[in-house]
Amino acid sequence: MKEGKIQLKSGHRIWYRRVGSGAAVPLLILHGGPGSGHDYLEPLEKLAPARPVIFYDQLGCGKSDQPDDRSLWRLDRFVEEVDDVREALNLRQIHLFGQSWGGILALEYMLTQPCGVHSLILADSCASMPQLQQELKRLKSELPAEIRATLDRFEATGDFHNPEYREAVIEFYKRHVCRLPTMPKYLLRTTENLKDNPVYETMNGPNELVITGNLRDWSCTDQLSKIAVPTLILAGRQDEITPACSETLHQGIEGSQQVIFEESSHIPHIEEEDRYLAVVSRFLSRTDATTNREP
């Protein structure tokens, strides 16, 4: 295991960890949020015996610099950050994994036609924020009437920090974000990272149900056909970014493989860890066996 700080071209510093030294093509991890940090993805370290697994905290969260400048919280700057990480760590060839917001970042990065990306894994993600908002509206309509009423009442006034409202949001989260009875410590660290995080608030909004940030209208649905690397699409059956969103990705990316985890919501890598790691490991090994490594 090796960890340290990378200096971006902007002068800011971000934290990274490299786990494993296997000979297979490295796996670069893009975490969600925006602003969550890498912590909740730690189960993916178990892929390291076969290959290096590289985590980093995106600027504005976790162990990385957290500058007080909301103009930095833009999709294009985070795309540039991926290139900075690859250059600093000499990651000429990678598999790319993006979870939730990290999947959006991975998609936008792939649309720049980068060299050396052997495969793409899109976990619990989408190709269209408007589609996601429609799916969230549907999931909200399926909540118990009293929870819906509480959400509607406080959202109408914008009182997103009211304790009663937050309790109602947590009821949604229990169904569609994490269905585990007890959250592991690494997931609790992620919830702390997201608490009042300006990156999350600027790009997403006050919570998962209310998307008011600068990602609100983002969509790349009409560009999915440009992605030509082997692609694995993963989602939980009860995922807040629903299987319908995953299906849009699957239909748009030719030759992609889709796997739905029946006992999971938004974090199947934790909720069904063993099966999840097996699915990802097989995909990576199969891709390694059929892809020529560049010199």
Supply the residues annotated as catalytic: 100, 239, 266
What is the C-alpha R_g of the chain?
Answer: 18
For 147, list phi and psi in degrees, rounded to 5.
-70, -45
Q: Nearest to residue 166, comparing CAs of 145, 184, 182, 150? A: 150
Retrieve residue 109's tokens: 């990065």
What letter does residue 46 receive in the DSSP assignment? G
Amino acid at 39: D
Cα 109 versus chain centre, distance: 13
Residue listed under structure tokens 């109408």: 156
H or E stretch at 148: helix 145-157
Q: Are 265 and 179 in contact (CB under 8 A)?
A: yes
Residue 134's SS3 state is: helix
Tell me if 21 sits within 8 A of 92, measured CB to CB. Answer: no
Neighbours of 238 (CB within 10 A): 20
